[in-house]
């Protein structure tokens, strides 16, 4: 459901669906997929936004390691609104983690297309 809402450009509904899925199976977004080729052709800005939304979902559930991992991916894909992580409520607990400040201060370089 999350992917469907994301494709329909309904990110808040997508995040709610991802959170529900993660509550059922915290590894659900880590499972391998058969849509890898399709994902590779997805524009980088959409992949970056997706990773940011997944980071929010993980942060909301208190899965900080996974949240940081997806925040890093969003940065590598050059998510243009990455500084929203300083304000979005879902990241409140993550902002207390010194790794968050380290990541936000020493941003990873963008991955080549």
Q: Where are the domains of the chain?
A: 2-105
Predicted TM-score of the model (pTM): 0.76
At which residue do the structure tokens 């052709």 appear? Answer: 41
Instruction: Report how far Cα 102 is from the mean position of its chain's Cα atoms.
Output: 18
pLDDT < 50 regions, the chain: 32, 34-41
Q: Look at residue 15 in the predicted model and tell me its pLDDT.
A: 82
Among 35, 40, 66, which Cα is nearest to 53's?
66
Those residues with Cβ within 8 angstroms of residue 90's Cβ, 6 or more apart along the chain or in another chain: 56, 57, 59, 60
């Amino acid at each position: 459901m999350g992917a469907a809402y994301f494709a329909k450009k309904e990110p808040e509904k997508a995040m709610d669906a991802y959170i529900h899925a993660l509550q059922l199976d915290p590894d659900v977004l880590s499972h391998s997929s058969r849509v890898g080729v399709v994902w590779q052709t997805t524009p980088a800005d959409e992949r970056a936004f997706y990773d940011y939304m997944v980071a929010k979902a993980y942060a909301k559930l208190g899965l900080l390691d996974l949240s940081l991992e997806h925040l890093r991916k969003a940065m590598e894909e050059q998510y243009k609104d990455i500084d929203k992580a300083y304000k979005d409520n879902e990241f409140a607990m993550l902002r207390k983690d010194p790794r968050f400040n380290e990541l936000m201060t020493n941003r990873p370089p963008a991955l080549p297309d």
